[in-house]
């Protein structure tokens, strides 16, 4: 040992007995849990979780333990009660909401990160992957390479960050540093978009002090695409009335219909007013990696901010979104933490320890500080199957939506409610002479029957008064068998409810 240096402690965690918690033994713990997880993914009797509810509730619903039961008891509960009664959303027939399914590579990378890359600071391999995967993700999604990217927990926070940058930009134009000083007295900001804009935008406006009602929904067409000239008129009117236009929100994949706004025309409107253009691609943006779908996203590169959720179509664990902003310093002025005694910053010439350098200060461009090393999740996904694998998945899923559209268009008792743009399709059971009210009641009951009697679980969307059955294809496990199975089941159940044909 060099003179003056301090010996590093050599006792192995988990064997010292210094703490009540086991700190090692991962091999054994995972060997117990992994078979239960694999069994869960075979979905043998996953449908029985509700039937067994009283049983597992009784096993789990215990008072706060004064004395710990030990690791074995934890593993036992996980193996017997928790995992088998978990959420069967990874099932190939689960087509509801926009949930995705975490792939093995991504789950494993996430676990590895929880052990060896606990946080997103310092000079570690995990934090290098954050920067690398943000670059890869931008390239996959056809975003300009020089936009600043930052991860957060989901589309909700990703939209919040983007709207924070937009608000900063809008008020700096009138000489106010809103991040530092807050909104000027009496100032009213406005955010513009179509009727299908996700309500996390409204909430972001609320959190940012603009108020949820700052979102002004302008008219959209039947598929949910906003009318850019209506946005233009709204901004003109509001500016004349002394309101502050903060952002236009374009959708790269509307949540209900999958529609993609005319981003190039929205960019024209945004530029003509000097207003921020935000593109919400939480669900749909990965489709931009498919050459034949790319024209739909024309104008994307002109956005001031963009978001995408790798936990939807890309198959990372839940809790992963990226915000990209043309000028990252706006994020910093919007969200930086002012200096604090516990936030020591240092940048030595040549780091010796990994703790000599905190790495990029993303936490001054976000609303997070402690958070998992999500870069490894996205890296694992892309390293495993590459752009080709994602492209195949997107093509397959868009194909499924079109397949249902074709079947619905041809079938005498199905109606295609909105033609698909990406991998979402809205259709319904409909008999001749049935009005919307009657059709809605039938489709509601079709949905209940699907949930009760099958493992095919779409969700619904109410569009122009019509309750549509809305399967979303983002689950890598789904095959044509589930797709056709769903259409057949809707017809059979609908026929059964309305009298056989």
Q: Radius of gyration (Cα) for the chain, nearest Å? A: 25
With contacts defined by CB under 6 A, name the span among 20-28, 31-39, 61-69, 155-163 that binds ligand PLP: 155-163
Does residue 261 bind ligand PLP (CB under 6 A)?
Answer: no
Cβ contact 479:469 at 8 Å:
no
Stretch binding ligand PLP (CB under 6 A), from 153-161, 341-349, 449-457, 481-489: 153-161
Q: Which of 101, 124, 75 is nearest to 376 (CA)?
A: 124
Q: Nearest approach, Cβ of 205 to ligand PLP (angstroms)? A: 14
Q: Does residue 130 bind ligand PLP (CB under 6 A)? A: no
Min dist CB 282 to ligand PLP, Å, is: 4
| Region 346-385 residues binding ligand PLP, contact defined as CB under 6 A | none
* Residue given tokens 């959303």 in the structure block: 89
Q: Of 492, 287, 500, 299, nearest to 392 (Cα)?
A: 287
Region binding ligand PLP by CB under 6 A among candidate stretches 69-77, 152-160, 286-294, 491-499: 152-160
Residue with Cβ nearer ligand PLP (257 or 440): 257
Which positions from 28 through 87 interact with ligand PLP, judged by CB under 6 A?
none
Q: Given the complex with ligand PLP, which of 215 and 283 has the nearer CB atom?
A: 283
Nearest alpha-carbon partner for 317 in 38, 101, 466, 16: 101
Q: Which span (27-35, 73-81, 130-138, 275-283) binds ligand PLP, by CB under 6 A?
A: 275-283
**Between residues 149 and 155, which has the closer beta carbon with respect to ligand PLP?**
155
Residue with tokens 């983007």: 162
* CB 301 within 8 Å of CB 137: no
Task: Report the relative pairing of strands 321-325 and 414-418 from DSSP bridges.
Answer: unpaired
299 lies in the site for ligand PLP, by CB under 6 A: no
Distances (CA, A) of 228 to 191, 258, 372, 403, 497: 14, 18, 39, 30, 43
Contact status, residue 483 vs residue 404, Cβ threshold 8 Å: yes
Q: Does 250 bind ligand PLP (CB under 6 A)?
A: no
Angle at 168 between CA 236 and CA 367, to 5 degrees: 135
- Please tell me whether residue 155 binds ligand PLP under the rule CB under 6 A: yes
The answer to whether the beta carbons of residues 189 and 246 sit under 8 Å apart is yes
And the tokens for 469? Answer: 């059955």
If the CB atoms of residues 246 and 487 are measured against ligand PLP, the closer one turns out to be: 246
8 Å CB contact between 397 and 390? no
* Residue 228 CA from chain centroid, whole number: 26
Among 232, 304, 309, 364, binds ligand PLP (CB under 6 A): 309
By CB under 6 A, which span of 151-159, 160-168, 230-238, 388-396 interacts with ligand PLP?
151-159
Q: Does residue 280 interact with ligand PLP by CB under 6 A?
A: yes
Site for ligand PLP in 320-349 (CB under 6 A): 321
Could you tell me the two tokens for 189? 């900001």
* Contacts (CB under 6 A) with ligand PLP, residues 455-474: none
- Comparing every residue's Cβ against ligand PLP, the nearest one is 155
Given phi > 0 = left and psi -120 to 50 = alpha, else beta, which region is 494? alpha
Q: Dihedral angle at the C-alpha atoms of 451, 442, 409, 500, nearest 10 degrees?
A: 100
192 binds ligand PLP (CB under 6 A): no
Please select the residue that binds ligand PLP; options are 156, 306, 440, 475, rule is CB under 6 A: 156
Q: Strand 244-251 relative to strand 276-280: parallel, antiparallel, unpaired?
A: parallel
Binder among 95, 98, 102, 486 for ligand PLP (CB under 6 A):
98
Q: Which of 120, 198, 333, 374 forms a contact with ligand PLP (CB under 6 A)?
A: 198
Nearer residue to ligand PLP within complex by CB, 293 or 490: 293
Q: How far is the CB of 212 from ligand PLP (least distance, A)?
A: 15
The count of residues interacting with ligand PLP (CB under 6 A) is 13
DSSP assignment string, 257-303: T--B--HHHHHHHHHHHT-EEEEE-TTTGGGGGSTTTGGGGTTGGG-
* Interacting residues toward ligand PLP by CB under 6 A: 98, 154-156, 159, 198, 200, 255, 280, 282-283, 309, 321
């Amino acid at each position: 040992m060099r003179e003056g240096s301090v010996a590093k402690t050599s006792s192995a965690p988990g064997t010292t007995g210094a703490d009540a918690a086991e700190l090692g033994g991962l091999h054994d713990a995972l060997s117990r849990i992994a078979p239960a997880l694999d069994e869960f993914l075979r979905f043998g009797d996953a449908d029985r979780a509700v039937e067994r509810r009283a049983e597992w509730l009784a096993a789990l619903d215990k008072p706060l333990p004064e004395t710990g039961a030990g690791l074995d008891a934890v593993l036992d509960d996980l193996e017997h009660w928790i995992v088998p009664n978990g959420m069967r959303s990874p099932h190939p027939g689960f087509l509801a909401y926009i949930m995705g399914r975490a792939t093995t590579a991504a789950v494993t990378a996430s676990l590895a990160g929880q052990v060896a890359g606990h946080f997103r600071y310092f000079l570690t391999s995990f934090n290098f992957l954050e920067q690398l995967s943000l670059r890869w993700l931008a390239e996959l999604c056809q975003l300009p390479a020089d936009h600043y990217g930052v991860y957060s927990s989901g589309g909700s926070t990703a939209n919040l960050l983007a709207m924070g940058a937009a608000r900063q930009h809008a008020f700096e134009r009138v000489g106010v540093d809103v991040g530092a000083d807050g909104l000027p007295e009496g100032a009213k900001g406005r955010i513009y978009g179509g009727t299908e804009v996700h309500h996390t935008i409204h909430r972001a406006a609320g959190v940012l002090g603009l108020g949820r009602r700052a979102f002004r929904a302008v008219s959209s067409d039947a598929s949910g695409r906003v009318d850019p000239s209506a946005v233009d008129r709204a901004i003109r009117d509001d500016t004349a009335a002394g309101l502050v236009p903060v952002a236009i929100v374009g959708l790269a994949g509307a949540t209900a219909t999958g529609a993609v706004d005319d981003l190039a025309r929205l960019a024209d409107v945004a530029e003509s007013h000097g207003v921020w253009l935000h593109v919400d691609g939480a669900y749909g943006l990965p489709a931009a990696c498919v050459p034949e779908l790319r024209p739909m996203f024309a104008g994307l590169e002109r956005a001031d901010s963009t978001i995408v959720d790798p936990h939807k179509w890309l198959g990372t664990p839940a809790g992963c979104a990226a915000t990209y902003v043309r000028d990252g310093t706006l994020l910093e002025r919007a969200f930086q933490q002012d200096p604090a005694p516990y936030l020591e910053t240092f940048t030595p010439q040549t780091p010796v320890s990994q703790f000599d350098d905190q790495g990029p200060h993303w936490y001054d461009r976000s609303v997070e500080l402690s958070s998992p090393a999500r870069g490894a999740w996205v890296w694992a996904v892309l390293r495993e199957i590459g752009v080709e694998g994602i492209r195949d998945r997107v093509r397959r899923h868009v194909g499924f939506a079109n397949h249902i559209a074709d079947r619905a268009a041809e079938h005498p008792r199905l109606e295609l409610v909105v033609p698909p743009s990406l991998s979402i399709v809205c259709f319904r059971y409909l008999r001749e002479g049935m009005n919307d009210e009657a059709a809605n009641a039938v489709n509601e009951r079709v949905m209940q029957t699907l949930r009760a009697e099958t493992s095919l679980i779409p969700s619904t969307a109410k569009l122009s008064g019509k309750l549509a059955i809305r399967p979303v294809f983002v689950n890598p496990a789904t095959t044509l068998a589930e797709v056709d199975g769903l259409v057949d089941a809707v017809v059979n159940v609908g026929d059964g409810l309305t009298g056989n044909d």
